[in-house]
Structure 1
Amino acid sequence: MVPGVRSWWARRSLRLRLTAAAAVGIAAGLVSAAVLLVAWLHASLIGGLDQTALERAQLVASDQISDRITAEVPATDHGEVAVQVVDGKGAVRSSSPNLRGKPRAFTFPASRSDTPHARTVHDVPVGEGGTWRAVGVPAGTRHTPLTVYVAVPTEGVDHSLDQLVVGLATGVPAVVALLTGVVWLLTGRALRPVDAMRAQTAEISASDLSRRVDVPSAGDALGRLAATFNDLLARLDTATRRQRRFVADAAHELRSPLTTVRTRLEIAARHPGSTDAQHLATGLLHETERLTRLVDDLLGLAQLDARPRLRARPVDLDEIVFAEVRDVRRRTRLLVDQHAVGAARVTGDADALSRVVRNLLDNALRHAATRVDVSLRTDDGTARLVVADDGPGIPEADRERVFGRFTRLDDARARDTGGSGLGLAIVRDAVMAHHGSTRVEDNRPGARLVVLLPTEPP
């Protein structure tokens, strides 16, 4: 198809394209059927003429005994049947009344098979000539060989076929037009639910994703399409609500340190003599670090929500754990035990996995009373990373909720220690991106946060 025509065709309505395709298919089917019908009927009628000629020739041959040859073959009831009996020298010994006195009209040799095949001949000197179907069969005796030729005109067959072709040439287009109209109506009726879905979808706005399209009662493809579209709307609605809640929570979290910074700066500006510069700088630095951690967490979640391609490569998870533990020990006086860390090699993004371990350790440090225990081992193709603390623990009812965004079980204490409520949410999203899982277990006392990751195939 020419590109311009293809482009024009693609811009047509689905109803028009379906109807046109159906019309082409119907026309091709009916034309093919008409051609086959004409060909079959022609072969059948010609076969009937051939059988008539053969039977007449066999009848005449059985009567042509050399001592009873007459100059004229008796007429038959088969219309203008042309008969000639020719001897071995090519002389006409007998003929039908319509060939009386005429020269030899058939020159092809007689067939010696049990089922002689008819031939199409022209210019038989009977009437206006035309086309004939002729057979030749041997007759006579060994001493007086003869050939009996019988020809039957095809004029009647040709006339009947011409009438049939004219009728089909008139009827087929009419039937095609009628069926095309029916297809147009049926296609419009079949696509009516699609138009209804389109109209309902056009009324759904980004600010109101709670609406749904009507699902047709029939469990057909359109019903499945409507159900799938409603599922998509539900997922979009959930994602939009989550995004709005995330933005609102992020704005609230950012407002608190910004308000603190602004308040301290306003006090310093209005009462310059009453503010210790060192104390002010320390407070502002603390709030700035809090803002930096919060912005880093927000960026990390945004990257995970965008589902970027992780730089998947073989990673020694134990080396990441050792590096993060060394960094933590420089920032805390609590005991961080890593003796249970064994070798574990996984496939994933080293930066994302480092963030997972760092957030787990930071969470444990904020709640631990005296120590944090870290362990890592592999079992049946799974790396099991555990970070445990001896703090107050996590109630069983909240063990799933802690992985939510901006979730704090002790809100005031978490704010004081710099927690944003995003650390464990980042852990879960990053682990899920690596096809792993997270859960909370009881440490008695304290809590055990468990991360399961698939190991690299050997």
Structure 2
Amino acid sequence: MVLVAWLRTSLISGLDQTAWQRAQAVAEIVNSGNLHARLPSPGDRDIAAQVVDSKGTVRSSSPNLEGNRRVFTFAPSASDEPHARSVQHPPHSENGIWRAVAIRAGTPSAPMTVYAAVLTEDVDNSLAKLTRGLAIGVPMAVTALTSVAWLLTGRALRPVEMLRAQTAEITVSDLSRRLDVPPSADALGRLASTLNDLLARLEASTQKQRQFIADASHELRSPLSSLHTQLEVAARHPDSADWRRLGPVLVEDSERLSRLVDDLVRLARLDAHPRFRRRPVDLDEIVFAEVQRARQRTNLTIDQHTVSAARVDGDVDALTRVVRNLLDNAIRYATLRIDVSLGACDGTAQLVVSDDGLGIPGPDRQRVFDRFTRLDDARARDTGGSGLGLAIVRDIITVHRGTVHVEDNAPGARLVVRLPIARL
């Protein structure tokens, strides 16, 4: 519709320009004084012209209007631009619609009006043919293009449907399956690779969660079984139960169970990605307070003379838990002495807790930060550890954008924590 309307406007404008040029040519004849009763023919039967004087008498006509009375009666245009009008079925002329213009000519004493008109029949016929062609061709072309687009889209989306079907078949009980990656290195292939990476991460996370649940159940079973057994024996033989000896043992088992539950709750909160209350924290004050607390629970020598000021951005409770776990770990495995140092250098605060125990072999220095990890010999369940302390340390330090690792102390182990210092 827009095309037909634009084309009609363009063609009619061309007809108006033709009529205007014919009227100017006739006006030049009038002005030259060579006007005759019959105007020279332009060779086109679709162009008509008349010259009318001030009394309305036809003074000259084109051959196709010769002998006719005045056909056009509208006033001439006052501007130099064509101002055409549509005249339908002019009297004594051929049927159809004409585009007619009028201009002034002659002298002031003998003014005349020149009319020129062009028949629009050819334009109307051409536009009618075009409209019929578009009315038939456009729906056919749209149908053909839609069909081709439908087929191409279906073919392009077929691999997507295959990926969707394969994804729907993957269940939480079988995350080992992977999607078939299309051979083409396009967006679909990258999507399949990304989904496979996602499945791999989900599988690893699920396995880790299941292992965690299994380890937690195993760890909880041991102190609960011990408490249950001792209480059951005491209940069945109340007269022979030595409560003075049994009481401290039960208290120790219950404290161990309480520590384990507390560590499990803390790990669960860390897995939920909590928002710590970040603010500038004097890490040296936390170290001094925790060292004083640790000295009340052990006879080991704890040296803190190399602790200097260091301020970091973090959560006070979380960082306190880090220092406490590091000291508890050192107390558990040290022989005679524990050294604690803290300093700031190059925008990083470094906390080091060293013990003089058996140390940690090189291959196990990364594994000790896994949950429920205990090494052989000295690092056994009998020492009272749950295998969660260093895992909590690593998770908290990671949230604080820091690092923690183990170094050799010869003898013993050095646990090194690095945290970015607070911005002023």
TM, length-normalised to structure 2? 0.91
Q: Which residue of 2 aligns with 1:6?
A: none
1: CA distance, partners of 2:77 / 2:415: 104
Q: Which residue of 2 aligns with 1:81?
A: 47
Q: Which residue of 2 aligns with 1:121?
A: 86
Q: Secondary structure at the match of 1:387?
A: strand
1: CA distance, partners of 2:323 / 2:31: 117
Taking structure 1 as reference, are residues 300 and 411 closer, same or farther at Cα in structure 2, changes over 3 Å only?
farther
2: CA distance, partners of 1:67 / 1:424: 117
CA contact (8 A) 1:440 1:448 kept: yes
What is the correspondence of 1:27-106 to structure 2 with a 5 Å cutoff?
A: 35=2, 37-64=3-30, 68-87=34-53, 91-97=57-63, 98=65, 100-103=67-70, 105-106=72-73
Taking structure 1 as reference, are residues 332 and 67 closer, same or farther at Cα in structure 2, changes over 3 Å only?
closer
What is the correspondence of 1:3-402 to structure 2 with a 5 Å cutoff?
A: 35=2, 37-64=3-30, 68-87=34-53, 91-97=57-63, 98=65, 100-103=67-70, 105-109=72-76, 113=80, 116-123=81-88, 124-127=90-93, 130-137=96-103, 139-140=105-106, 146-402=112-368
CA contact (8 A) 1:82 1:151 kept: yes
The residue identity in structure 2 corresponding to 1:366 is R
CA contact (8 A) 1:118 1:133 kept: no
CA contact (8 A) 1:336 1:373 kept: yes
Question: How far 1:369 sits from its partner (Å)?
Answer: 1.5
CA contact (8 A) 1:210 1:237 kept: yes
CA contact (8 A) 1:92 1:104 kept: no
The residue identity in structure 2 corresponding to 1:365 is I
Residue of 434, 438, 443 corresponding to 2:400 = 434
CA contact (8 A) 2:333 2:378 kept: no
The residue identity in structure 1 corresponding to 2:87 is H
Question: How far 1:331 sits from its partner (Å)?
Answer: 0.4
Residue of 398, 403, 411 corresponding to 1:445 = 411
Residues 274-309 of structure 1 show CA distances to partners (whole Å, capped at 9, x for unaligned) of: 442111112111111111111111111111111122
Taking structure 1 as reference, are residues 149 and 370 closer, same or farther at Cα in structure 2, changes over 3 Å only?
same
1: CA distance, partners of 2:33 / 2:375: 130
CA contact (8 A) 2:354 2:413 kept: yes
Deviates more, 1:301-310 or 1:130-139: 130-139
CA contact (8 A) 2:403 2:417 kept: yes
1: CA distance, partners of 2:295 / 2:402: 27
Question: How far 1:390 sits from its partner (Å)?
Answer: 1.7
2: CA distance, partners of 1:271 / 1:58: 135
Q: Secondary structure at the match of 1:281?
A: helix
Question: How far 1:265 sits from its partner (Å)?
Answer: 2.8
2: CA distance, partners of 1:383 / 1:151: 96
Question: How far 1:138 sits from its partner (Å)?
Answer: 5.4
Residue of 409, 420, 431 corresponding to 2:375 = 409
Taking structure 1 as reference, are residues 73 and 394 closer, same or farther at Cα in structure 2, changes over 3 Å only?
same
2: CA distance, partners of 1:301 / 1:307: 10
Question: How far 1:89 sits from its partner (Å)?
Answer: 5.6
Taking structure 1 as reference, are residues 68 and 417 closer, same or farther at Cα in structure 2, changes over 3 Å only?
closer
2: CA distance, partners of 1:272 / 1:142: 145
1: CA distance, partners of 2:66 / 2:307: 117
Question: How far 1:154 sits from its partner (Å)?
Answer: 1.3
CA contact (8 A) 1:110 1:147 kept: no
Q: Unaligned regions of 5+ residues in structure 2, if any?
A: none
CA contact (8 A) 1:360 1:424 kept: yes
Q: Secondary structure at the match of 2:4?
A: helix
1: CA distance, partners of 2:165 / 2:124: 59
The residue identity in structure 1 corresponding to 2:75 is F
Q: Secondary structure at the match of 1:453?
A: strand
The residue identity in structure 2 corresponding to 1:374 is V
2: CA distance, partners of 1:298 / 1:61: 107
CA contact (8 A) 1:317 1:345 kept: yes
2: CA distance, partners of 1:403 / 1:110: 97
The residue identity in structure 1 corresponding to 2:288 is F
Question: How far 1:65 sits from its partner (Å)?
Answer: 6.3
CA contact (8 A) 1:91 1:104 kept: no
Aligned residue-pair number = 422
Residues 247-291 of structure 1 show CA distances to partners (whole Å, capped at 9, x for unaligned) of: 111122222222222332343344445442111112111111111
The residue identity in structure 2 corresponding to 1:262 is H
Q: Percent identity, aligned pairs only?
A: 62
The residue identity in structure 2 corresponding to 1:202 is A
Taking structure 1 as reference, are residues 145 and 267 closer, same or farther at Cα in structure 2, changes over 3 Å only?
same
